[in-house]
Amino acid sequence: MKSNITELMEIIKRLPEKGVNELLEKAKEIKEEVEKEEEREVPACPHCESGKVVRNGNQKGSQRYICRECKKSFVKRTKSVMSNSHSGEAVWKQVIRDTINGVSIDETAESLSMHHETIFNMRHKILYSIEQSQIKEPVKLGGVCEADETYILENFKGAKLPDNFWRKPRKHGAKAEKAGLSNEYICVCAAVERGGKSMATAVGRSQPSSEDITGVFAGKINKDALVLCDGAKSYNILEKNGICTVMSVSNDDDGFKKINNVNGYHSYIKERNRAARGFATKYLNRYNALFSVTFRASEFRSCTKSVKYDII
């Protein structure tokens, strides 16, 4: 299997000059091997997670299984992102790739000749799946970490505001009515492990309280971690509650005592937000979950230019 994949990568490197037919043949070989491996593997039950599963015939070309514990039948797609979808794997891969790279829904829909709403629903299935996986298995930051908050303009994209709403509607990508921070902004608490994982969570409209900080970071930072912050007193609750060690730093500090990594993460989030002309606030944490996965995997280095994040 590995040798076939290696050969495939070498063929791809030679495109488009030559190798198209070889690529197709090699892809067929890999597809056949993967299908054989899938036939041999019997998955755990997606309903009760029992391993007492047996094959239960085929339906529309898909192998069905039945669980001896809960008596429910399923296919490998059951309770997955692709469940109940009429779109094939190639379409899903394109939607996943465009979601990671920040391609707009309209561009993806046009390239696939599909409806905007269909692509929207597929994209949010992907985002919801990432968000739920992080809720089920939260990130664990360790070593030296940097924590700070940033602010994203609230957005009611896709919703019609009532006539008596407290502010006037604005166009996508427009600026806040008031200068500086105001109740028009949503606070996003973020943390980055130096050279490692990252996380971000929207907490409310004002500066984060001690309760907000505890709610965001408790259970997601190892006890032996050192968290660098910009001096906000609310972060001291992490050390007070024995969650981790906290060290305050300032802009005048050099070398070790800098929080450039988390500031870079903020820039990454804001750049993606600007490119999308704002994410709907109700979906902000779904996108935060995506960004926590893609930040270190991307080639992002500067918020002054647009960069593709093609990791598929």
Can you tell me whether residue 54 is helix, strand or coil?
strand
The confidence band for 299, taking pLDDT boundaries of 50, 70 and 90, is very low
Q: Count of alpha carbons within 13 Å of 232, Cβ hemisphere only?
A: 20
Please give the residue that has the higher pLDDT: either 295 or 31. Answer: 295
> Minimal CA–CA distance to 208: which of 179, 185, 228, 239?
185
In contact, 68 and 54? CB cutoff 8 Å:
yes
Sheet arrangement for strand 73-74: 53-59, 62-67, 73-74
Is pTM beyond 0.85 here? no
Which residues share a beta bridge with 228?
146, 247
* Residue 194, amino acid: R
In contact, 153 and 185? CB cutoff 8 Å:
yes
**pLDDT over 70 (residue 302):** no
**Residues 48-105: tens digit of each pLDDT:** 888 888 888 887 777 888 888 888 888 776 656 666 666 777 888 899 889 988 899 9
Dist CA 269 CA 263 (whole Å): 10
Strand (E) or helix (H) holding 7: helix 2-13
**pLDDT over 80 (residue 24):** no
pLDDT of residue 150: 93
Strand (E) or helix (H) holding 91: helix 89-101
| Ranges 81-85, 160-164, 219-223, most confident | 219-223
